[in-house]
Chain A
Amino acid sequence: MDCIAAEPFVCMLYDGEEAPEEAVQHITGCPACRARLREYAAIASEIRVLAVAEAQNLRPLTTPATLPSRGRWRFTLGGPVRVPRFLLVMGIAIIAGLSVALGYVEKQRRSQDLWLRCDLRLPQSQYTGPIHPANLPQLAWVFSPSARVLGPRPFFLVGPENQLGAVAGIMDIQQVRSNRVDFAIQAKHIDTGGQSLRALLEKQRAAGPFQIDELREVLSGVPLRHYRYEPGTTLRIPIEGGGTLIFHGEVGDQLSKFSWQEFALEPAPDEIVLDQPALVVEKSLILRPGGAVKVSGPKACAYMYIPGKGLLVLSLHAFSGAHEAAVDRSDAMFELDHEWYYLFAHTPIAGGDRPKTIWVYLAKNYEPSQSGLKWNPVNSFVGSAQDVTQVLAQLKQ
């Protein structure tokens, strides 16, 4: 598949809808198509900016002074009707049968519409990626039974600074349900004989598409491990030859908007991602989309400088003076000083539960030119720090 053929599917993937496996493979491996995804995200953001602007200019509309009267047909048709007993029984039987059949069909339909988004990584790895079709920053997959993309997929992961060696394997997603995912996996540690893994990867990539049959040969003798996985949990999978793989997935009926490039498909539960955030305060657009930051850790925080208001600090954990904010995918809403804040970004802001509570704090005394903070954002209004308490301490100085 080429870019022209894949173009309509970029749109569908961006919207979190099903796309054929071949298109997904192409898009994940094609820089031009990934760039298109980013452009769609930017356009979407701009349309939301327009919506805010229009809402701001909307003149009040009052409710109608009087409401129309309703018809009284139910009273005229409400009289008793004589029905033969056998017809009544037959009618009830037909209704019951149809209800059961419809319920079954609906259940089947819903179970087929479920998507699985999952990440597979090595602990503390800085770089993970399949050898083909492309080296995504993180190995993230999407499976949907109704899009016929279940089934085995080869993977090849590289450890941090090439020190952990390589891990090759095949992941076979077999069934996706709302409360469980059945899959089988083979994973093997590969001895690279002292060669640079990066060079090996480049060599393999240059050799052309990676064939799953080649990998099956490499993995012959490696036990196939079967798992019944509970969505949302983290699963550790032993690797033949040493080491552990970390698997995390989520099941949903619709994919969220996502970025295929800089950030993971879905933020980790301990991660905050602000990708091109824009801010609306009381229906006024305060910040246009811009900047990007990702941070994780138990005390980590992200922050944005809001001209005229101060520094907005966001953390996954409660801290002194912080207020609750509700995050749902790429939107966050909260109230500070009786003002309503609406923050929206190109990609989901926080992983894990939905909606999720995060904590926000507005440091009104913060002025970039006067604070003297070492992490003072000069050209960007977003940033991050590993310890929110240190940030607050510096702000109080």
Chain B
Amino acid sequence: MANDQTLWQGIVNGERAAFDALFRLYSAQLRLFLRRYTGCPDAADDVAQETFLQLWRRHNGFDPARGTLKQYLFGIARKQAAHHRNGCPPPEAELATEPEGQSATEAVAAEDRTADLNEALVRLEPEERALLWLREVEGYSYAEMSEILGVPLGTVKSKLFSARAALRYVWCNGRKE
């Protein structure tokens, strides 16, 4: 698999194959992040497409010393998504089929818990959702998230804390009826 540097060099050189490879590599992760950030799957897909095109147009914008290509891509996506965040209905929870090997009671309990958590996630502010996603799914540090979301480090800390507190409430007490 080509690494960031090879891919970026290909994009700088105007190679379509490099663009396609980059798209294949990161589009799914980017779309999942954008779904959480915008709260709207259709908008997320539009923003993801526009993000890759923007990267193609601004082929002098990436500086490897400032982070990874993926981080740069997420940063562009965040800026693009700012225009799409409002006016979308909250997403429906899409849960996987319950794994085999668990008793019916365990499966129902686990499904309930995941559904509760998903619902709580949807209710968070977009930035809080995005932060949790970047931290837990993508594994970014506070400094990297601050760069991607364009917010101060203190905001990352406070929003992540309030997001976790909200989720923890649901986790420990279940969904409020």
Contacts and interface: CB of A to CB of B under 8 A. Distances in A.
B53 A67 contact: yes
Given A54-B94, A67-B19, A285-B96, 16 more contacts: A12-B157, A15-B141, A17-B141, A42-B171, A47-B117, A47-B133, A55-B32, A58-B31, A63-B19, A67-B56, A70-B14, A287-B99, A288-B110, A306-B101, A307-B100, A308-B100
A355 to B, nearest CB: 13
A288 B49 contact: no
B61 to A, nearest CB: 12
Contact of A17 (B27, B142, B158, B164): B142
Interface in A40-60: 40, 42-44, 46-58
6 contacts: A16-B141, A42-B171, A47-B137, A50-B114, A50-B121, A68-B53
Interface residues of A, number: 44
B56 A254 contact: no
A284 B135 CA distance: 22
A11 B161 contact: yes
B93 to A, nearest CB: 8
A61 interface: yes
A180 interface: no
Contacts of A285: 96, 99
Contact of A70 (B57, B101, B160, B164): B57
A324 B161 CA distance: 38
A51 B137 contact: yes
A8 interface: yes
A40 B97 CA distance: 24
A39 interface: yes
A381 interface: yes
A54 B102 CA distance: 21
Interface in B32-55: 32, 35, 45, 48-49, 52-53
B20 interface: yes
A40 B168 CA distance: 7
Contacts of B80: none
Nearest to A74: B60
What 8 A-B pairs have minimum CB-CB distances, sorted nearest first? A307-B101, A53-B96, A307-B100, A47-B136, A44-B136, A57-B94, A11-B161, A51-B137
B81 to A, nearest CB: 16
Interface string B129-143: 000110111000110
B59 interface: yes
B107 to A, nearest CB: 9
Contacts of A47: 117, 121, 132-133, 136-137
Contacts of A56: 96
Interface in A249-294: 254, 284-288
Contact of B164 (A11, A55, A67, A68): A11
A8 B94 contact: no
B172 interface: yes
A216 to B, nearest CB: 36
Contacts of A335: none
Contact of A63 (B23, B114, B133): B23
A58 B14 CA distance: 29
Given A40-B164, A55-B28, A67 B16 contact: yes
A381 B102 CA distance: 10
Nearest to B142: A17
Given A39-B168, A287-B101, A70 B59 contact: yes
A130 to B, nearest CB: 27
A285 B110 CA distance: 13
A26 to B, nearest CB: 16
Given A53-B96, A63-B23, A43 B102 contact: no
B53 A64 contact: yes
A36 interface: yes
Interface in A47-95: 47-58, 61, 63-64, 67-68, 70-71
B135 A15 contact: yes
Contacts of A8: 157-158, 161
B52 A64 contact: yes
B31 A53 contact: no
A16 B168 CA distance: 19
B94 to A, nearest CB: 5
Contacts of A53: 94-96, 114
B113 interface: yes
Given A55-B32, A64-B49, A68-B53, A48 B142 contact: no
B118 interface: yes
A102 B126 CA distance: 35
Contact of A254 (B14, B59, B141): B141
B76 interface: no
